[in-house]
Amino acid sequence: MSDWKPKRFWTESAVVDAEGGYTVELDGRRVKTPAKAALILPTRSMAEEVAAEWDAQQDVIDPTAMPFTRSANAAIDKVRHQHAEVADMLADYGDSDLLCYRATHPQELQERQAEQWDPALDWAADMLSVRLRPVVGVLHQPQSEMALTPLRQRVHELNDFQLAAFHDLVSLSGSLILGFAAAQNWRAAEEIWRISRLDELWQIEQWGHDDEAHAVSETKRTAFLHAKKFFDISV
């Protein structure tokens, strides 16, 4: 099996204007996506983040150290070609939103869920004009279409780059409402991430810390915070 890895071939990266936005050049050569599409970015801030990642590469290119480039590639090569499908998939989270499924016991966990999750549902009612209904237990109980339809419309209105970021905000938190809450700055992204992990943090309190689980959680946390920043610089 080959261990060949792409090596740095350029001296300088630069942000330049392009039709429809901005792009990045490496010694005057424009960067393309893995699918060979033009890397046209909607804002200069995003282009600067991408250029900084390319500039930070050393002898061997490490794609894992280039989250903004990866997110931009995903928006162009994937989301752009299946925007409606991605939007529908994320909107479906509203029908089984994390915030709506409450513990049957113990009382302390129930109280903690109410304390941290009810304000997010209240925010959605005020800011999104949607009231999702919490239930007790893990069995699926569908939300009303009257509540889900406006949420679905909001997701479809996101542009390709916003939707690429929103995908991670929703899928990592398990909540469409928390995805919107992060996107619209209800609270700091770090706090919203902790709210989404309430049940996991409860389990840690009861059973202790697990190094492997913590490492996985930290990877997801980093991805969530990155998605928030990518969303912010998408317009």
- Same domain, yes or no, for 154 and 217? yes
- Same domain, yes or no, for 60 and 150? no
Cis bond upstream, residue 106 (ω within 30): yes
- Same domain, yes or no, for 32 and 143? no
pLDDT score, position 1: 42
Other CB atoms within 10 A of residue 82 CB: 12
**Has residue 70 been placed in a domain?**
no
**Has residue 107 been placed in a domain?**
yes
Domain that holds residue 108: 81-232
- Same domain, yes or no, for 226 and 112? yes
pLDDT score, position 5: 64
**Has residue 74 been placed in a domain?**
no
- Same domain, yes or no, for 181 and 91? yes
The CATH number of residue 121's host domain is 1.10.3580.10
pLDDT tens, residue order, the chain (235 aa): 445 467 878 889 999 999 999 999 999 999 999 999 999 999 999 999 999 999 999 888 898 999 999 999 999 999 999 999 999 999 999 999 999 999 999 999 999 999 999 999 999 999 999 999 999 999 999 999 999 999 999 999 999 999 999 999 999 999 999 999 999 999 999 999 999 999 999 999 998 878 898 899 999 999 999 999 999 999 9
- Same domain, yes or no, for 59 and 98? no
**Has residue 3 been placed in a domain?**
no
In degrees and rounded to multiples of 5, residue 26 shows phi and psi of -110, 110
- Same domain, yes or no, for 129 and 222? yes
Q: Which two tokens stand for residue 199?
A: 């049940």
**Has residue 153 been placed in a domain?**
yes
- Same domain, yes or no, for 40 and 143? no
Residue pointed to by tokens 């930070």: 56
**Has residue 73 been placed in a domain?**
no
- Same domain, yes or no, for 190 and 91? yes
pLDDT score, position 7: 80
- Same domain, yes or no, for 58 and 92? no
Q: Which two tokens stand for residue 20?
A: 């429809």
* Residue 227 burial (10 A CB sphere; 0-12, 13-18, 19+): buried
- Same domain, yes or no, for 45 and 152? no
Distance CA(87)–CA(143), nearest Å, equals: 18
**Has residue 137 been placed in a domain?**
yes
**Has residue 152 been placed in a domain?**
yes
Query: Structural domain tally of the chain?
Result: 2
- Same domain, yes or no, for 31 and 132? no
**Per-residue DSSP letter, 21:** E
Distance CA(77)–CA(35), nearest Å, equals: 6
DSSP E strands: which ranges in the chain? Answer: 13-18, 21-26, 29-30, 101-102, 135-136
The dihedral sign for the CA sequence 61, 64, 67, 69: positive
The CATH number of residue 23's host domain is 3.30.2180.10
